[in-house]
Amino acid sequence: MAGAIHRTARHHTTAGSKAVNAARAAATLGAPVLAIGPAGGASGRHLAGLASVEDFDSRWFDIAGSTRICTLIVSEDGDEETVVNEEGPTLGWPEWEGFLDLYERHVGGAEVVILSGSLPAGVPADAYGTLVERAGGRPVLLDGRGRELLDALPARPAWVHLNAGELALTFPGESDPRRSARELVALGARNVVLTDGAGPVLLAGASGAWRIVPPRVRPVKRIGCGDALVGALAAAVLGALPSFDGVDLVARAVAAASASAETEVPARLDPAV
């Protein structure tokens, strides 16, 4: 209830962001992961400390602004979620160039690259396109939205993921996700994965489109399930999840994302499920 004092039954404080969530899922499934990103202020130091106890390595580029904090409030029955995102920091041009240097120093050791989340203010509009190009032909999984995603498609990312809300922001007024998926492929995405909560997942590529129905679970929370899918997809591309073809690969990633809904920490899952 707005305007009232509320107390939580329990709480978790974890390293966050879409990219960190994806890293958590990939690492849980056995993939070796290095997460990198900008971080600043006391909250940035807290992020780095929290990330240091995760099952993956991380490197952070120091910025002048403060890393934003996201607060997720989930009802006891898991049916209602409220997300409060602080305004993120603005990166100056030298900070963008510094981060790009960090990225280029580490991307050479990667087999798969995940680019995820909204771009911070101050970076070039084509920042994602630059990062895809500088991945040097390695498979890139791009989880974004809107113009910043569309501008990156000529660089031909291997996989693009959007949820229903992100898809609506990217193609306002378009009601058919199949048309949107075909447009994303035509613009340069090699494969497109569209999710809509617990509903069917649409996989589309140059050779066709497939509908994948997630397993039924009893969700504790839903935030982070799309990130878990992206991380699991990266793990599958690496071979940490055995698969027979592209459709099976995505189906296994969908199953992992569903399993993450049964845990309270975003993108944390039991690989045995």
Query: How does pLDDT run across 114-170, given as a tens digit for each residue?
Result: 999 999 999 999 999 999 999 999 999 999 999 999 999 999 999 999 999 999 999
Q: Output the pLDDT for position 218.
A: 80
pLDDT of residue 75: 81
pTM, to two decimals = 0.91
Beta bridge partners, 72, equal 83
| Residue 147 confidence (pLDDT) | 96
CA torsion, points 210, 212, 213, 217, in degrees to nearest 10?
Answer: -170
Band (pLDDT 50/70/90 cuts) for residue 217 is confident
Residue 1: per-residue pLDDT: 65
Q: Which amino acid is at 139?
A: P
pLDDT score at 232: 92
pLDDT, tens only, 242-256: 655 678 889 888 988
Average confidence (pLDDT) over 27-55: 95
Given a contact cutoff of 8 angstroms between Cβ atoms, the answer to whether 128 and 113 are in contact is no
Q: Identify the band that residue 81 occupies on the pLDDT scale cut at 50, 70 and 90.
A: confident
Q: For residues 266 and 83, which has the higher predicted lDDT (pLDDT)?
A: 83
Q: State how far the alpha carbon of 152 is from the alpha carbons of 22, 167, 226, 248, in Å.
A: 20, 15, 20, 26
Give the residue from 223, 227, 189 showing the smallest Cα distance to 205: 189
Which band of pLDDT confidence, cut at 50, 70 and 90, is reported for residue 272?
A: low
DSSP codes joined into one string, 184-253: HHHHT-SEEEEE-TTSPEEEEETTEEEEEPPPP---S--TTHHHHHHHHHHHHHHTSS--SSHHHHHHHH
Average pLDDT, rounded, for the chain? 91
Could you list the beta-strand ranges (E) of 31-147.
34-39, 57-62, 70-74, 81-85, 113-116, 140-143
